[in-house]
């Protein structure tokens, strides 16, 4: 599976997990996290690292009514 396909899957999963947030906002967080790893030469773990960073940032946004 290509890195782009993995990133699309990560984004879809996060949109589902953070359904109270606008999908565009989640996608923006994922894109910003992905950009942080643009210069990494070893790409194998980039999708996992992006997912972790995006989850952390989305968790800071909070939950509805929280």
Average pLDDT, rounded, for the chain: 94
Cβ contact 23:46 at 8 Å: no
Distance, in Å, from the CA atom of 21 to the CA atom of 38, rounded to the nearest integer, reads 26
The DSSP-derived string for the chain is --HHHHHHHHHHHHHHHTTTS-HHHHHHHHHHHHHHTTT-S--TTHHHHHHHHHHHHHHHH--TT-
Does 63 have pLDDT greater than 90?
Answer: no
- Considering the entire predicted model, what is its pTM? 0.89
25 is written with which tokens?
A: 């906002």
pLDDT in the model for residue 65: 65
pLDDT score of 19: 95
Is residue 66 scored above 70 in pLDDT?
no
Q: Residue 33 has what pLDDT?
A: 98
Per residue in 24-55, pLDDT tens?
999 999 999 999 999 999 999 999 999 999 99
């Amino acid at each position: 599976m290509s890195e782009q396909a993995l990133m699309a899957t990560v984004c879809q999963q996060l949109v589902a997990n953070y359904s109270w947030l606008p999908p565009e906002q989640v996608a923006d967080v994922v894109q910003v996290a992905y950009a942080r790893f643009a210069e990494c030469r070893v790409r194998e773990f980039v999708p996992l690292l992006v997912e972790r960073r995006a989850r952390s940032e989305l968790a800071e946004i909070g939950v509805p009514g929280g």
